[in-house]
Amino acid sequence: MFCCDRPEPRRIVVVVDDGESARMALGWAMLNVIRSRDIITLLHVHPSSAAGSEGSRRYRRLKGFQLALSFKDLCDMNPHVKVEIVVAEGDEGPTIVSYTKKLGASALIMGHHKHPVFRRCLGKKDTLDYCIKNSNCLVLAVKQHRKVGFNAQGKTVSEVRILKYF
C-alpha cells in the first residue's frame, strides 16, 4: 500500500530548567511548532561537580528527572507526540549541543532570559549564544517580551523572537 502524506516525525529538543521561561517556551512550542507524531526530548542539564559524592550526583540526577517530568503535562496537550526525558551532567552549552547532534534534532527550543549585566561583565558564558553558534539545527529562543493580546481561548498571546534559522 502506498503511504500517505503524513510528514516524517521530527525530533524536537526542549531545554528544561527551573525558570518560568522554559515552561513558557515549551507551552509556546506545543501550540506553534510541535505536531502529531513528533518526538519531544525534554533535556535537563545539571553542572558536573568533581567534589560531589556518588550519592549527591544521583540526587541531582533524580531532581533533574523530577523537574523534566513536571514539564510532561504540557506535552499532553497533544496526545500523538512521543515524549522522552534526558538528564545530563556537564557544561550546559556544550552538553545541549552535543545531545542535539547525537539525537539528530530538527529543532532546539529554549526559554530565553536575560542574564544580569554583572554576570556578563564577569565573562560568564551565555548558553543561548553558545547553542546558536554551535548547533546544527534550528534554534528557537522563546522570550515573553510583552503581552500582545488574547487568542480565541482567552489565553494571553506573547511576542516571540526566533533567533536562528538553519
Tens digit of each residue's pLDDT (9 = 90 or more) over 32-88: 999 999 999 999 999 887 666 788 888 989 999 999 999 998 998 899 999 999 999
> Hey, CA dihedral for 85, 91, 93, 94, is it positive or negative?
negative
As a whole number of angstroms, the distance between CA 37 and CA 29 comes to: 14
Place of cell 519531544: 40
Name the residue with higher pLDDT: 87 or 124.
87
Is CATH 3.30.70.890 what the domain over 11-158 is classified as, yes or no?
A: no
The residues facing 88 across adjacent strands are 45
Sequence-distant (6+) residues with CB within 8 A of 16 are: 22, 23, 26, 42, 43, 44, 67, 68, 71
**What per-residue confidence (pLDDT) applies to 2?**
47
Inter-residue contact 116 to 29 (CB < 8 Å): no
User: What average pLDDT does the segment 120-137 reach?
Assistant: 77
- Give tens-digit pLDDT for 77-122: 899 999 999 999 999 999 999 999 999 999 999 987 665 554 444 4
**What per-residue confidence (pLDDT) applies to 22?**
92
- pTM for the predicted model, two decimal places: 0.81
**What per-residue confidence (pLDDT) applies to 54?**
80
